[in-house]
Chain A
Amino acid sequence: MLGQVIISGILSGALYAMVALGLGLIFGVMRVINIAHGPLLMLGAYTTYFLYAHFGINPLLTVPIAMAVLFVVGVLLQRGLVFRVVDAPELSSLLLTFGISIMLVNLAQLAFTSDLRAVEYITGSWLVGGLALSKPRMIAFVFAAAVTALSFLVLKFTRLGKAIRATSQSREVAMVCGVDVGRIHMLTFGFASALAAAGGALLAVIVAIQPEMGGVWTFKSFLVIVLGGAGNYPGALVGGLLLGLVEQVASLFLTTQLSEVVAYVLLVLVLLVRPSGLLGGRQT
């Protein structure tokens, strides 16, 4: 039993890590806590659903499309709204993204209705020994791991990635060194939205899609980046896997209801004992 839940934990942990990385990037670069991160994920899930249901496109091929679409949405949101609150007190950005989040959810309800949608693509599992490896979750895991790894490579080695990290460390110095900070903010928001969209697209084959599915992902992502260390990008990976494992193991030994309690108790403990997160805060 333990083996089974550890597998489940790792499988969902990778998704948590990828989605949370987006939230962490925006926070690191702009000091904005993006409450609309979950609703952006929801839009990604709907993109996959419509491409699959109306054009018959293989759900896995829709992942890059959903990412591209939401990249554009993210850029537009940043250009249109979010850039105004980058230097404002954090409460302003919280309020703004909270508003965007409500707006996105209600627009989705209006446009897509709150009927549940599902992408019935691959179901079932591979049986290995006594363990059942869920097919959709394994696939989502592989994609999430690949996207996360690619993101780290981009951040680590490309000029753009270096500029993003530089902006995150010190905006003024980056600006002095010739980084177009406005452009970096825009690209980061777009990129983070694309990561949320990838999460949504992969979730579409696992859970049912509805306009309010995103909310819980905002909170989980927040939990992950606090656990891992806000602004510390590899921290998202550690935090994601940790959250996935804690949830599953807690539901095994306690109950499903208590597992959420355990996850949030962990959050409180980390904030009390090690407020900068398990891997420490922003890298300098």
Chain B
Amino acid sequence: MTSKAPTALAVALALAVGGVMPATAQGPIRIGASLSLTGTYAKLGKNQHEGYQLCEKEVNGKGGLLGRKVQFVVYDDQSLPATAVRLYEKLITEDKVDAIMGPYSSPVTEAAVNVTEKYKKVMVAPLAATTSIFKKGRKYIFMVISPAEVYLEGLVDMAAKRGLKTVAVVNEDTLFSKAAASGAVELAKKKGMQVVFTEAYPKGNTDFSALLTKVKAANPDVIAAATYFDDAVALTRQMKELNVNPKMYGVTVGGDLPEFYDTLKQNAEYIYGATQWEHTLPYAGNQEWFESYKKEFAHDPSYHSAAGYAGCLVYAEAAKRANSLDADKVREQLLKLEMRTIFGDYKVDADGFQVAHKMVTFQWQKEKKVTVWPDDLSKGKPLFPTPAWTGR
């Protein structure tokens, strides 16, 4: 290995410096994280990174944490779980950071958490939405965003309240969409609705004619689709082509992007979607945060930015209450903490699984996303029922 010599040199240097400088409490609190700054998730990982940066700036602006400045040590995991494992190992054993924050995405978190658990380090994982990560008896990991299972909760709840009886659930056959679909099915049954049709389709599918022909024959009041972007667009177009007319139709991921409306134009009207966060939501300080983010980074934040920012604040708050960086003391506080940030509510169960943060359901109305669920956050009323394609 050619990299051994420089590493050894760096270690020697670090030891020398460490020996000279007294290890005092005056040094900054170094928070380590690996993020997807390149690779498949680059765009989203960068937004999360900017959330961390803004949190760092704000905490330091308010006098720091436990009387010390906060400083992020961030490496690029190239969106690869295996690289993230190596980097967290390095952060903990070589860099000896004082605290850890989570990486981007469920698969990367699922891999990295094995390292943080091994070294008993608290990891607030702001961008991991897969339930199973938190249900494997792990002690030091904490969830911030809502899990996949509740993405369609708003749609089903609104439908049940309006007395709709039947629902069809379709989903892409991948981890996240499957979880979102099964969550919708369970919730619909709990609310006394009848699930008249379910089917999964392969990733990358573009032709939904036969699937939608079957949906049409089942004649559901509600179509709940656990989608990503491409399939959400294709499903909508082909629903129109096959004249499938549910009273409500909602999608999961993708439906919240501006591109969704740009692509479908007026055909996106009346469609329901779900989102973890919007800058228009009435959480205290949300709008100001949005403005300062835009000023700092010259582009709009996504929910990844907001979740990263909020996750970092949650950790800081817990450390403050514990008055310590000791993993077990911070963990105790994180389990007790109830907090509202610009991202919404934080509260976890005994597994560190998020139970308070609400997915928000919106409806596309006249080119705008109007929040329609839950009631205490909503800005408008849903346009109900969705008119038939031929009657618009």
Contact = CB atoms under 8 A, between A and B. Distances in A.
A256 B201 CA distance: 5
Contacts of A260: 202
A124 B229 CA distance: 20
Contact of B241 (A136, A247, A250): A136
Contacts of A12: 207, 209
A39 B201 CA distance: 24
Nearest to B244: A132
A252 B206 contact: no
Contact of B242 (A125, A206, A251, A255): A125
B203 to A, nearest CB: 10
B302 interface: no
B206 A207 contact: yes
Nearest to B242: A132
Given A116-B263, A118-B263, A207-B206, A257 B173 contact: yes
A252 B213 contact: yes
Q: Size range of the interface on A? A: 35 or more
Interface string A130-161: 00101111000000000000000000000000
Interface in A1-19: 1, 4-5, 8, 12
Contact of A208 (B202, B213, B233, B267): B233
Contact of B229 (A116, A134, A252, A255): A116
A127 interface: yes
A58 B233 CA distance: 22
Contacts of B217: 1
A95 interface: no
Contact of A5 (B173, B209, B265): B209
Contact of B207 (A4, A115, A247): A247
A169 interface: no
Nearest to B207: A12
B389 A8 contact: no
A259 B211 CA distance: 11
Contacts of B214: 1, 252
A252 B210 CA distance: 5
Nearest to A249: B210
Q: Is the interface of B mostly helix, strand, loop or mixed?
A: helix
Contacts of A132: 241-243
B205 A256 contact: yes
Contacts of B208: 256
A221 interface: no
Contacts of A120: 263-265, 267
B202 A257 contact: yes
A5 B199 CA distance: 17
Contact of A257 (B201, B238, B243): B201
B204 interface: yes
Contact of A1 (B173, B205, B213, B243): B213
A251 B210 contact: yes
B168 to A, nearest CB: 14
8 cross-chain pairs, A with B, having the tightest CB-CB distances, nearest first = A251-B210, A134-B241, A8-B209, A256-B201, A132-B243, A118-B263, A252-B210, A132-B242
12 contacts: A1-B213, A5-B210, A8-B207, A8-B210, A120-B263, A123-B240, A132-B241, A208-B233, A248-B209, A255-B200, A255-B201, A256-B199
